[in-house]
Chain A
Amino acid sequence: MLQILKITVFAIGSLLVIRGVAQSQPCNLSLRGTVKDKDGTSLIGAAIWIESLQKGSSVDADGTFLVENLCAGKYTITVKFVGYTDKTIGIDIPASDPVKIILDQNVQLLHEVVVEGAHAEQHGISQSVSALSSEQLDANTGKSLGELVRQLPGVSSLNTGPAIFKPVIQGLHSHRILILNNGIRQEGQQWGIEHAPEIDPFIASEIEVVKGAETVRYGADAVGGVIIVNAPELSYTNKLKGEVNIGAMSNGRLGVFSGTVEGGFKGTQNWGWRLQGTAKKGGDFHAPNYNLSNTGVREYDFSGTLGYKKNDQQLEIYFSSFNTQIGILRSAHTGNIADLQSSIENERPWYIADFTYDINNPRQKINHQLLKIKASKNLKGLGKLNILYGGQYNKRKEFDIRRGGRSDIPALSLDLLSNVIDASLEHSLGSSWSGSVGVNGTFRNNNNEAGTGIVPLIPDYDLYAGGIFIIEKLRKEDWVLELGGRFDHQYLQVLTFNRQNELIKPTFNFNYFSGSAGVSYFFSDKSRFISNIGISSRPPHISELYSQGLHHGTASIEEGLMLQNGDWSNDLSQVKKEVSKKWSNTFQHTGENVSFEVTGFINLIDNYIYLQPTETRLTIRGYFPVFKYKQTDALLAGGDASVNAGITKRLSYTGKFSYLYARDVTKDDKLPLIPPTQLESTLRYAFNNIGNFKNIYIAVSIPVTLKQYRAPLTVYPEDVPDYTDDRNFDFMSAPGAYALLNVEIGGKIPVSKHDLSITLSGENLLNTSYRNYMNRLRYYADDLGRNVMLRLKYNFTN
């Protein structure tokens, strides 16, 4: 499988190399000039392009540009700059004087670029978007994707110990969230509550989170929002550049190293490449008072990109490999509810051993391989055509504590193969309408490897899905309107066994629509109001339909909604689509001294699917609560806010706040695993340069997590056998509120011509013992104690 991927990448790569040999002519004239706006400000970075020669240049820091090796003649040159209208002029070479070019500002375009972030084409203009900048990523080197994005307002995480973080966007997670890995929909085993995204955050230069449904653009997986992980653009110059990141953490004695090199090829401006790799190793983490035994992590990732860019066409091939092994807290493996009861009663986990890097059972081993091919081309009179292919191969093995020498046999062994093809045409109609139409195709094959000796948690299946969408934008001076619609069809064939152990192949066909309308109104250059209303549908996921098994982490039996009276139901009509109707409003202000953003939303979800307690079942291991996926109507409403204020020239304040209210409307009950209210305040002080040290700062932040007052009823495990109600419950009451103290000090120092960034930071510096409601291991152990981290980053250019 892997072999095939490699060979094909190589084959395609070589084909392209042959086609891409550079053409040039021996002429030695040059063109000089300046590019300015109406006020006379130089537009540094503006691009100059000579279409007929396929060559260009850009405006340097001194405000001038230079195109060399030109032959005498007449040329048409195009000048482009972000936020400005393109300009095309005719020029005679040799030119007597340096050319002076003046560009006009494009107000609407400027709004879009400045306010909506770098990847505005990947999400709706009327969505609330939060981003982690590359500086923020640098200051958090070594953390997993889920741990990174939970720093954003409205984003939290559902964790299983210190190494497994699942992102939660405004209360929704797992298959309700889409992760775009370099433009490709990540196809992993996201259904499980202890399944983290299979992505190395080191590939990213920026991570954006769209806090609203993007089902029109991406289909059912994007009901809850999108996490966009984007690699930087390839440089396409024959300059060798690179970056080295080193991080060390005291907690878990974790070390991480990541390196990137990139460059182009001699004699051509059309090719670019990048290679990147990450290695990470951590041992047992520790809580303030004890080791969290068996929570080590090991990760080895690498990726490669090869890009070809010529005028209006572009091709990119990207390959990445993500390989990790994660230990799960030994004490969190329970045999039955009596074990869970004693874990809850005891303050300390029952198994505490000396620190080790060894990872024993229970553990997860995950390999995720991805191949992406992206091509785009401008078709005159039609627009820009983008074609994206993604092939992904995900292997997940979970090892448990087993009897009879079976601990080396995975308890769960899943192979997921997926293929995604997206094609879209971006077009503009006149000066104010623009949009894109597109089609998506997805194929997924999920296969349980035989020989585990345990009935699989989710069955084998084949899924084919196809979708067609249209998004149109109307741009006016002060506002932008965006409308979108989408239709999808999904064919799902499940291969499972009935009670008589006969193979059955239930087949589902789902048709579903999504639509959204949004408006973005600019009060001024600095502030805007955006409002988005959308309807998104999602067919149930295979895990919601056909899962079955005992969850050792929560001593619960979990069953899919197709399981009726002990066998798989034949009545496929009882399965309903989940339909989310969300209205979200955001006000943004970006001032010189004060910037803030406030979002409020309401999300009504019909046929919302979640695990509800249905019965208590006696087995040979004792009593277990049975949780079944059921459909009800739910309401989620809440708000996020963030503010950034300069107090003095050097001192600034950042505040973040998230609140969420959730209710099962049908049952009039509270919903489980809803993130509690969070707020965080950060003060940051920037110092003068000290000798060679520059950009020195200190930041002190206090994240506060309140108690989840709307947690479901508490039923202790020992009371489960007598519990007959159908109200949602949790085995333990929600942990109390806590505040932590984090400090970060950083700066840059030049080392042989380039900057070395140094960051020293401490999290939970007061070593506070706390438990986090959103951590599934809170039944067993405290959360992480003090963690001191040193991070180094060095950029180099040859």
Chain B
Amino acid sequence: MKMNRSEQLKMVAPFLFYSFLFATLLLSSCSDDDPTPTNEEEVITTLVVDLTPANGSGASAVQLKFYDADGDGSIAPVITPTTGQLKAGVTYTAAITLFNETENPVGNVTDEIKEEKNAHLFCFTATGTDITMSYLDKDDNNLPIGLSSSWVAGAAGSAGTVRVVLRHQPGGKNGECPGPGESDMDVTFPLQVVN
């Protein structure tokens, strides 16, 4: 099998040819379209707790708001008011609403929680302030949800905090806090009970 250089090249050429043919086939089979921006569907940017005092209490309504424009991004969240004030001895009805404002139109996360009420639970913890919470709503298994709750302001005192945690407990919800699962939201509001 004596061959000169050009014969050798003839032997090698088909290998090279087929190799590049493969490459071309593979390359052309995938489209190189520009990607489109991702809609962050699951982000919660905004938590609003609307505290409505019982009729005739003389207290005014209070709105607690946590707003984080970019989810996990580096823009710092804004918490309002600096310190929320509840009136001593007044019972407030707390209604929670949640939004995803990165979406256009704004995503209503409250509806998602309502749909999956059997897998969600809000947990409330008051620290350093005399506020007592109780649930006003129930899921299909007669377990609390917490979208609607009652907050009773006790004796006036110095400022403390109320922590609102949304637990996601698919398949394992037992009504206990924190219970199984993971936290989808964990927000702490500065609150004070005043006379």
Contact = CB atoms under 8 A, between A and B. Distances in A.
A565 interface: yes
Which of A351, A443, A619 lies at the interface centre, i.e. has the most chain B CB atoms within 10 A of its CB?
Answer: A619
Contacts of A557: 72
Contacts of A401: 168, 170, 182
Given A338-B183, A621-B185, A385 B22 contact: no
Interface residues of B, number: 59
Contact of B40 (A454, A619, A626): A454
Contacts of B89: none
Interface size grouping (class) on chain A: 35 or more
A254 to B, nearest CB: 25
Given A313-B11, A456-B38, A621 B183 contact: yes
Interface in A362-390: 371, 373, 375, 377, 379-380, 382, 385, 387, 389
Contacts of B55: none
A315 interface: yes
Judged by DSSP, the binding face of A is mixed
Which of A51, A335, A447 lies at the interface centre, i.e. has the most chain B CB atoms within 10 A of its CB?
Answer: A335
Contacts of B32: 445, 462
Given A338-B186, A391-B23, A622-B186, A450 B112 contact: no
A550 interface: yes
B8 A379 contact: yes
Contacts of B180: 350-351
A619 B182 contact: no
Given A566-B73, A620-B45, A377 B40 contact: no
Interface string B78-115: 00000000000000000000000000000000001101
A422 to B, nearest CB: 10
B116 interface: yes
A460 interface: yes
A481 to B, nearest CB: 31
A333 interface: yes
Judged by DSSP, the binding face of B is loop
A618 B21 CA distance: 53
Interface stretch (B12-20, B127-135, B144-152, B153-161): B12-20
A450 B15 contact: no
A237 interface: no
A325 interface: no
A620 B26 contact: no
A404 B42 contact: yes
Contact of A336 (B19, B22, B183): B183
A34 interface: no
A417 B183 contact: no
Given A454-B40, A566-B75, A448 B35 contact: yes
A460 to B, nearest CB: 5
Interface of B: 1-3, 8, 11-12, 15-16, 18-23, 25-27, 29-30, 32, 34-42, 44-45, 47, 66, 68, 70-77, 112-113, 115-116, 165, 168, 170, 172, 178, 180-187
Given A447-B35, A453-B41, 9 more contacts: A8-B25, A334-B182, A335-B184, A350-B180, A450-B38, A453-B40, A499-B70, A503-B37, A620-B47
**Which 3 pairs from chain A and chain B are nearest by CB?**
A335-B182, A453-B41, A622-B186
20 contacts: A8-B22, A335-B182, A338-B183, A339-B182, A373-B15, A377-B8, A380-B3, A387-B19, A403-B168, A407-B170, A419-B27, A447-B30, A452-B38, A453-B40, A550-B72, A618-B68, A619-B68, A620-B44, A620-B77, A622-B186
